[in-house]
Every structure is written in C-alpha cells, then in structure tokens.
Amino acid sequence: MARAVPLRSKIGYTAAAWAVALLIFFPVLWTILTSFKTEVSAVASPPQLFTADWTLENYAEVWQRSDYPRFFWNSVILSVGSTLLGLVIAIPAAWSMAFVSGRNTKDLLMWMLSTKMMPAAAVLIPMYLIFQRTGLFDSHIGLVLALMLMNLPIIVWMLYTYFKEIPAEILEAARMDGASLKNEILYVLTPMAVPGIASTMLLNIILAWNEAFWTITLTTTKAAPLSAFIASFSAPQGLFYAKLSAASTMAILPILVLGWFSQKQLVRGLTFGAVK
Amino acid sequence: MGQITLKQVRKSFGEVDVIPGVDLRIENGEFVVFVGPSGCGKSTLLRLIAGLEDTTGGIIEIDGKDATALPPAKRGLAMVFQSYALYPHMTVRKNIAFPLKMAGLSEADQTAKVERAAKVLNLTAYLDRRPGQLSGGQRQRVAIGRAIVREPAAFLFDEPLSNLDAALRVGMRQEITELHQSLKTTMIYVTHDQVEAMTMADKIVVLNAGRIEQVGSPLDLYSHPKNTFVAAFIGSPKMNLIDGAEAAKHGAHTIGIRPEHIDFGMGPWSGTVILSEHLGSDTFLKVNGGALGTLTLRGGGDVAAGPGDTITFGPQMAKLHRFGQDGLAL
C-alpha cells in the first residue's frame, strides 16, 4: 500500500520543490528577460525583473554582428561528433568492464572518473601547445577529440552501469549461437542497451554543448562553437548585458529545447540501476 | 557426430578447486544427465564443455578433436539456458534464425529452417511475437528451437525446466525426451532433480563436490549404488541408511534399504509412526525406529497406520545394500 501523506505535507513539499526549481532556473530566466530589455534598463539600479520598454533590438543586432549559423553548426558538429566518437570507444570498453571484469576493474573505473576531478586549467599549457604544434588548434577534429576525451569517463561509467543490468546469459547464448565479439556487441548488446545508450548520448551532447573552457581556449574562428559566440560579446569596451543576454539565450535555446523534450529519458538514464 | 571425451578436466576459481579432475566419455547419440546437489560443479562442467569457461587443466575432445582452446562458437554445440536467454528485442523468428544468420546462411535457407523448427515445436503461430509476449513453456520451446536449427554435434541443457511450474515441467520433460529420440543427437542435461535424471537419461553422471561419484544407467544407479552418497541421492524418497549394531549384524558399517523395499506387518523391526502422507496410490510413513533412527517406509494406498501407531516392519533381504566404513558398497 502506498504511504499516506497528509495534505499539509503535500502542499509543503510541492511549494519547496517549486522554490528550489525556481531558484535553479532563476539565472536562466533573468538572462532571457534581460535579452528583451534595452541596455539602459538591463543595468538599472536597483535591478528590475520586468521593464516597460521590451525590445527585440538586441537579437537583431546580435544576428547582424555575428555569424550565428556557423557557431551553431560548429556546436552541433562538436557535441554530436564527440559523443558519437565517445560511444564507439566506450561501448567495447564498458562491455569488457561489465562482462569480463578483472580484479582491478572497479579501481580502473574509479581512476577514470577521478580524472574528471582534475582542474582543466592544470593542463592548459600542454594542451594548448600540443594543439598548436599538431595543427589541431581551431579544427573540428581537434575539438571533437578534446571534448570526447573530457567526457569519455562519464560515457564509460554510464554504459557500464547499463550493461551490468543485462543478463550475461544472453550474451553467452549469442556466443554459443556463433556470434563473434563484434556481432555479439552489434546485434545483441547494443539493441538491448538502446535506452541506456540514448540517455548517455543525450547527456553527453548537453555536456559537450555547454563546455566553455576548452572550446574558447582552443578555437578562434573556424571551429568556434556557441560558447565562443557568447564570449565574443564581452568586448574590451565593456559589457553589454542586454546583447550578451540575447547571445546567451540564442546559444542555450537549442539545448534547452532538446533537454525539455528528452527529460523523461534523461531522468530514467540518470537513475537507472539505482533500484532493481 | 557428437562424441565428447573429458580427460582430467580441472577448473579452479582462484584458490578453490571446483572441478578437481574429471574423466568422462560421452558416446554419440547418448542422453547424459549430470546430476548432483547445488554447488557440486555440474553446471561448471557443462560450461567447460560449452567453452563458456576456460579449463584450468585437462583436455576436452569433441569428435576426437581437441576442443579445449576453441571458442564456444567453434565447438559445434548448442546450449539451452535455465533463464532461456532469448534475445528480448527480436521476434521468435529472428531468435531462432540468429545462429543461422551468424553462420552466413541465405535468407531463404534461414526461413525454411526456422519454419521447419517452428512446426516441430508448435511455434508457428508465435513466430512474429517477441519473447516477452510468450509463456514460460513457449519461451523454452523457442530456446530449444534456436538450438536445433543449428544441427549441432551435441545439445547442452543447463537446468532448462527449473523455471517452469510442475505440470509444464512434466510435459516439457517428455517433449525433450521425444526430441532426443527423433534427432538421435548427443544431449547433455544438467539438473539437480533426480526424477528428471531417472526419467530422461541413458546415462547418469552423479557429481559431488566436483567429483564423479558414479556413472551408469538409471536402473544401474538405483540397484547398485557405488557408495552411500549415490545411494541416498538416487531414488525418491531417499534410501534409509542405518549405522551401528543393526548394520553390524549384516557385516557392514552402514546398511541401506529403500522405502519401497520394506515390508509392513512382519519382520524384525518396529517403530512408532511420526507422520503419514497419503498420496492415493502410495502411502509414505515416517517412523521412529528407536536405535534404527528415523526411517521412511512406502506402502500401498490402503495403509491405514497413522501418527502414534506402532508398527512392525522389515527389509527385503535381497534388496539390502551394505556399505563399509569408507562409504563404499561392499
């Protein structure tokens, strides 16, 4: 039987949930609202959430001043490319960790994840020099590689969790049925792990899309994605909050929409394996 | 062909010797059942033959060729798993066709073979369903279908009926036996259920702690158990084993007598009935025999004795088994 929750607690919990959600969403809301204000009302003191003189001028100017479609396509190429390349490498890696694990598999997984705790700035200079000398600087291939490596531990870890849920007997049956390792992964494991692979893909596209440190540092024009597009609006002449907000809104909108429509899949993906 | 020979096959997991060394020869077309209590190594032995586990030592020969280092796909064996292990994202048709697809058969050959197997197993109506839409018995049939289309050298069954309910189990048991009679292919069947072993096998291999205790036909094991372990394991209800003075009278350390080989109403023994189970055709009595210990007796359906009654009974001397101190038959 479901646990009975008193009405007063229900109202309390709902109000608290809304308050937390609003608190998290507030900077995004502020940015979106500011993007429709004039530069003057954007910096008004005391700050105003709403204004009387709404305008679309910022968007028009941002669109005119920069090549948005190019930045957008670069973001798509980098986020989707790095995620797909990551999956190609991570699926076999997670397979071996989940189904032919050794004594050190858990340690290896922990080590991989621990690399995510390293501050990116610590390797800034070597990365910059490597990219510059190998011709990877400001190239799609270079950035796809960098973003893939950055997210690989998360992709492997997530896929490992999904694969652990798949009964090993089914893969053994495939082996008995004459499937090679490639066919076992292609025809049996991957189709069974589609929900897991899909949510891993979504999350990593979002992470790669939002990545700013390396995409700004390692690009100038050719491969620069939307993060660099936003940064280009903080000019030495000063910050133009309204235009910066319009640029930010244009940069986050595609991923916000993707996240909104796939939230069910994402939540399922992130909580997968938590309870059996 | 389907002749399998194990020569000193060993398997250890770390420090633990699960199979300390097994020698066994399985003839072409035989129905061999590996039976033993949980953890005796019977499934491990089957997986070693399948190639799903690597041996620690010894040689596995299939049709005279050393297959010890061959991967599962190259051994020419098919396996039916306890959990059926069907591919949940494929239809029944694709499940059965999967080994054929892996073998590179043409679509037309695949379809012909799948339809023939489906007909034999009464699955034709379900070919376009997915495993999730089938009952346990139907799923097991699909698993068998997937095994037979390959026309393997031998079939390996790993406790295939343990997930089915009792009535279905009896039906499937008979179907597998009939399948063996029609295909005449070697089958190795693992079970902990000695009734399955007795009813299906040409040859039973009784395993205990990774060692083979006895190999023989069902009736051979029933009539001439080599030791107390086999004596107690084969037969249901299990054989009564009696130690002490009564055994000494027969020149043995332990004597064994099956419940069905004890006569009621006469004989040298007596005891008090603790429990009586009336099955209609048979009656099982649990009797406190004093120095003899607790014994199980089997009588006809008309036995009226109930709890608290004192009864006289005695063994059929020709059916008495004698064992030495080392547990081996004398």
B105 in contact with A, Cβ within 8 Å? no
Q: In this complex, do B73 and A179 lie within 8 Å of one another by their Cβ atoms?
A: yes
Q: Tell me the count of A-B CB pairs closer than 8 A.
A: 61
Question: What residues of B are in contact with residue A167 (Cβ under 8 Å)?
Answer: 83, 85
Which of A167, A172, A180 is nearest residue B52 as measured by Cβ atoms?
A172
CA distances in angstroms from A160 to A91, A210, A275, listed in the order given: 8, 24, 16
pLDDT in tens, B168-207: 888 888 989 998 998 899 999 999 888 888 999 999 999 9
B71 in contact with A, Cβ within 8 Å? yes
pLDDT in tens, A13-58: 999 999 999 999 999 999 999 999 988 888 888 888 787 788 888 8
pLDDT in tens, A176-227: 999 998 999 899 988 888 888 888 998 899 999 999 888 988 888 888 898 8
Look at residue A192 in the predicted model and tell me its pLDDT. 87
Look at residue B52 in the predicted model and tell me its pLDDT. 93
3-class secondary structure for chain A? CCCCCCHHHHHHHHHHHHHHHHHHHHHHHHHHHHCCCCHHHHCCCCCCCCCCCCCCHHHHHHHHHCCHHHHHHHHHHHHHHHHHHHHHHHHHHHHHHHHCCCCCHHHHHHHHHHHHHCCHHHHHHHHHHHHHHCCCCCCHHHHHHHHHHHHHHHHHHHHHHHHHCCCHHHHHHHHHCCCCHHHHHHHHHHHHCHHHHHHHHHHHHHHHHHCCHHHHHCCCCCCCCHHHHHHCCEECCEECHHHHHHHHHHHHHHHHHHHHHCHHHHHHHHHCCCCC
Does residue A2 surpass a pLDDT of 90? no
Look at residue B303 in the predicted model and tell me its pLDDT. 82
Look at residue A235 in the predicted model and tell me its pLDDT. 67
A169 in contact with B, Cβ within 8 Å? yes
pLDDT in tens, A94-128: 999 998 888 888 899 999 888 888 888 888 899 99
Look at residue A273 in the predicted model and tell me its pLDDT. 47
Q: Tell me the nearest-neighbour CA distance from A171 into chain B, angstroms.
A: 8
Q: Write the ipTM.
A: 0.84
Q: In this complex, do A170 and B86 lie within 8 Å of one another by their Cβ atoms?
A: yes
pLDDT in tens, B316-327: 999 999 999 998
Rounded percentage of chain B residues whose pLDDT exceeds 70:
100
Q: Tell me the nearest-neighbour CA distance from B192 into chain A, angstroms.
A: 19
Q: In this complex, do A187 and B85 lie within 8 Å of one another by their Cβ atoms?
A: no
- How confident is residue A272, by pLDDT bands cut at 50, 70 and 90? low
Look at residue A238 in the predicted model and tell me its pLDDT. 66
Does residue B155 surpass a pLDDT of 60? yes
Look at residue A268 in the predicted model and tell me its pLDDT. 66
Alpha helices, DSSP H, located in chain B: 42-50, 92-102, 107-120, 136-148, 166-183, 194-200, 218-223, 228-233, 245-249
Look at residue A274 in the predicted model and tell me its pLDDT. 44
Look at residue A229 in the predicted model and tell me its pLDDT. 85
What is the rounded average pLDDT for all residues in chain B? 91
Q: In this complex, do B79 and A173 lie within 8 Å of one another by their Cβ atoms?
A: yes
What is the rounded average pLDDT for all residues in chain A? 87
pLDDT in tens, B13-65: 888 889 998 999 999 999 999 999 888 999 999 999 999 999 999 999 999 99
Question: What residues of B are in contact with residue A180 (Cβ under 8 Å)?
Answer: 73, 102
Mean pLDDT of all residues in A149-172: 91
Look at residue A49 in the predicted model and tell me its pLDDT. 79
Q: In this complex, do A170 and B103 lie within 8 Å of one another by their Cβ atoms?
A: no
Q: Tell me the nearest-neighbour CA distance from B256 into chain A, angstroms.
A: 41
A172 in contact with B, Cβ within 8 Å? yes
Q: In this complex, do B103 and A167 lie within 8 Å of one another by their Cβ atoms?
A: no
pLDDT in tens, A50-71: 877 888 888 998 888 888 899 9
- How confident is residue A236, by pLDDT bands cut at 50, 70 and 90? low
